[in-house]
Amino acid sequence: MKTPPKTKAVPVRAARTSGTSPAQLDVPHRGRSKVVRDSVIRFLLWSAAVLGLVAAGTLLLSTPLAERLSLREATARSVAYANSVVKPLVDKKVLAGDPGATQALVHLMSSRMADGSIAHMKIWTRDGRVLWSDEPGVTGQKFELEPDVKELFGTAQATGQVSDLDKPENAQERSEEELIEVYVGFRADDGTPLVFEAYWPTERIRQDVSDIRWQFTTLGLVALLLLALALLPLALSLARRVDRGLAEREEMMAQALSASDLERRRLSQDLHDGIVQDIVALGYALPTVAAALPPEAKAARGLLEQVHKDVARGVAGVRELLTDVYPADLEHGGLEPAVQDLAERQRRAGTEVAVAVDSRLGEPLAVAQLTYRIVREALRNVAKHAHAAQVEVTAGIEGDRATVEVCDDGVGLGPGGALGADGLPGGEGHLGLRLLRDTLRTFGGDVRITERPGGGTVLRATFPLAMRPVWSR
């Protein structure tokens, strides 16, 4: 595996001032009003969406509703006109085609049409003949009637529709686009079954559509606005309550993390000032004791020399352990130098380590802390399990997420190292990885281990740069 060149990130400036308390360093500050602001924005957006849906629904429903209302009104007016005006005028003379009687019919019908409320009229016989029409060219002609019109002969029923005037008998009316077409069954004075047909202009439909749109939209929007205004104080109250709860939980988490760091610092200091100094003093005393032995005590002198070497190794191991326990000073030292320090320990053990760290991960401090912890745990597992010759550490940013990848050319997962459902190795010895996974998932991240093509493993961890706990979203 080719080791990439070691890169050094641009020095990272301190994420906080030195006077900042530890509790403020471990969890990013969240504006107290952010939850309230986001909640109000979501409430307003949802309200606007509902208002838009109501307006769109009104626009979609107004046309068919207006058509039904206008058609119902036109049908009622046609029935009344057929029975009160047309029926008395159609007698035996009109049926026989008497010019004088027909002229009286024409005069009365034409005067009725003068106000423009009715566009055209026809009187039909059962055999499909136009007994009379306001269009002279149509009177006397025969046309094929629709089945529903034929059923009206001999009844007092009516049927209507918005016609596009595509029937043969409408040839002279096609220039008028659409009309409301109503058929009414009635009987002449002598009992002859007839059908009266009236065409009504569609201006009434357009007016009804406009009225309904205005009335329904105004009513719906005003009602929803009043409801939204009534619910807004409740939404604000709930949002503030949630905000207070989240602030308390985040403060508790910050205090817990701060207490953990303080305890680790205290433990490191106690060990360094106590038992480590005692062991170091013992190591210094052993050569003096060995020198005081008589020349013939070679076996004892050799044993003391071996003990001295063991003590030196133990002191070195304890000091390295204290370095792991004591939190790195990422605020002032920066993330990239701290990661290089972790890599240097591996290099001293004979492993080549290449490091590439994006300098942007140094801020805020919480992002740097979590990145450092991921690298530390990954390198610790490499040293303990992988037996690798080369390791690559890459920490960068993809979109709004931080990504950390540690790749080694070691032994891989091995025969008994199958991955669990959580993407981590099973068995003993991986508690640190599981604790790291739990921390990452708290902030909406995760960590997984996969086998590296050609041998070895790849640990990949991601988490949001915002680092807002998942329970606060």
Cα angle vertex 69, ends 68, 71, to 5°?
65
CA distance 171 to 262: 96
The count of residues in the chain is 473
Calculate what percentage of the chain has a pLDDT beyond 70: 79
Domain presence at residue 138? no
Q: Which domain holds residue 336?
A: 1-25+332-473
How many other C-beta atoms can be found within 10 angstroms of the C-beta atom of residue 133? 21
Whole-number pLDDT of residue 196: 94
* pLDDT tens, residue by residue, 134-143: 887 888 899 9
CATH number, domain with residue 438 = 3.30.565.10
Prediction pTM value: 0.46
Residue pair 185/154 in contact by the 8 Å Cβ criterion: yes
Domain presence at residue 212? no
Domain presence at residue 371? yes
Domain presence at residue 358? yes
* pLDDT tens, residue by residue, 232-264: 888 788 878 877 777 777 677 666 666 766 777
197 by Cβ neighbours in 10 Å (0-12 / 13-18 / 19+) ranks as: buried
Kind and range of the H or E element at 460?
Answer: strand 457-464
DSSP 11: P
* pLDDT tens, residue by residue, 69-86: 778 888 998 999 999 888
Please indicate whether residue 369 or residue 14 has the higher confidence score (pLDDT).
369
Domain presence at residue 35? no
Please indicate whether residue 368 or residue 269 has the higher confidence score (pLDDT).
368
Domains held by the chain: number: 1
CA distance 166 to 168: 7
* pLDDT tens, residue by residue, 146-181: 999 999 999 999 998 877 666 666 655 555 667 889
Domain presence at residue 397? yes
Domain presence at residue 394? yes
Least confident of 113-122, 291-300, 390-399, 413-422: 413-422
Residue pair 211/231 in contact by the 8 Å Cβ criterion: no
Domain presence at residue 60? no
